[in-house]
Amino acid sequence: MTNSIYIDKIQGEENLSTNLTQTFHISTYGCQMNEEDSEKISGMLKRIGYSNTEIKEDADIIIFNTCCVRENAENKVFGNLGQLKKLKEERPNLIIAICGCMMQQKGMADKVLKTFPFVDIIFGTHNSYKFPEYLDRVQKDGVQVKEIVNKEDGIVEGLPIDRKSDVKAFVTIMYGCNNFCTYCVVPYVRGRERSRKPEDIVKEVEELISQGYKEITVLGQNVNSYGKDLNDGMSFAKLLRTLNEVKGLERIRFMSSHPKDLTDDVILAIKECDKVCEQVHLPVQSGSSAILKSMNRHYTREQYIELAKKIKAEIPEVSITTDIIVGFPGETDEDFEYTLELVKEVEYDSAFTFIYSRRNHTPADRMENQIPEEIKHERFNRLVKTLNEIVERKNKAYENKTVEVFVEGTSKNQESRLTGRTRNGRLVNFEGSKDSIGKLINVNITKAGSFSLTGEECK
């Protein structure tokens, strides 16, 4: 499937010629998949003549690309929408659109329209490629558009993408999830697993290389399941080996991996492919086998620990990162202690930590023994303290060492400094020439902290 025919059509429409000086602003919530969705929406808008503005209040189109994994993200969206009411009254021609995972939830679109009737366009995750069509209908006919497709369609190829970076890029290799973890809404809002054809992925990567990109991160809710629906023998390990042969590509990263599906051939591909970075994001979620079973994760504490040991044995320089949820329904003090013990045993290089957030229409929301908020926060603080101590100690081992860094750009906090990452994903800030952006260079590490390394470019 492709939407390029429609984009090309409306690009030539006379009534859109006035859009050449108009602007849009996209606020993105959630994961890397949402970020790439926003890059595609931005690419479509730029194709038909709009330009991006970082100042939301100045934009002619304001778009919220939403996440529904945690309640906090939803609350932020509602708060930001509420703030736009006065702006819409002052500027009736302002177009406000809301899309993404949050809109895909049952009844959410109607709730948004009832609470915020000034919203012009609402669409979901399965039909974002049709945004130019919805925009055209609003502008031509003055109608309000709400279109949520509840069943995933085929994969749409050929959409323009407005990449945030000039040197590294996300490349989605599959969509959806089949795992149905009891706390998670992703299978309901992103649909079942659908893999892109390997030739389409390779074509996209080759086009990125021709544009000067050097590093890609392949994305999927569970990349280890890639290819299972293609019925042609393709697997994630084979895809990694295929991408490793693409000329001009320097580094390959991937996320996320489900522990139950990370097989020996994937571990060997990471070990043997020189472009695949020694970094594995391996979400554990809990260190208690009882809680893992309640989460429907399909592995035990012991199986996870053995997998982490195997990865480290095969790939000595590997960094293992993770996701952990604190306060899942029924989590006892003993369950939480199991999590702390696992964290100490695996010794993660970094972790995304979350306080369990109830999500409508998930099995966990209906479970008894919901954990009081004060207990969740106390456990969360203990977990973060333990993780930070481990990460800082592991980072300290890099002081006075020379590491290879892919230079991504200037530091967000200090534009006179450069920033990049080691092969195993550690963030490095250092003094250097902007001519190094997009290159692999050696950096001597002079100082280590909990979240980054500081160094000097080797002369």
In contact, 182 and 362? CB cutoff 8 Å: yes
Q: Say whether 99 counts as a known binding-site residue.
A: no
Residue 406 DSSP symbol: E
Retrieve residue 425's tokens: 């994903």
Calculate ∠ Cα 358-362-368, nearest 5°. 65
Q: Which residues pair with 297 in a beta bridge?
A: none
Distances (CA, A) of 147 to 45, 98, 124: 19, 11, 7
Distance from chain centroid for Cα 65: 13
Retrieve residue 13's tokens: 């429409």
The beta strand positions in 117-189, using DSSP E, are 121-123, 145-147, 168-172, 174-175
Calculate ∠ Cα 318-282-67, nearest 5°. 130
Using a 10 angstrom Cβ sphere, with 0-12 exposed, 13-18 middle and 19 or more buried, the burial of residue 305 is middle
Q: Say whether 273 counts as a known binding-site residue.
A: no
d(CA 156, CA 40): 11
In contact, 379 and 224? CB cutoff 8 Å: no
- Going by their DSSP bridges, the two strands 402-410 and 417-421 should be labelled as antiparallel
Annotated binding site for [4Fe-4S] cluster: 31, 67, 101, 177, 181, 184
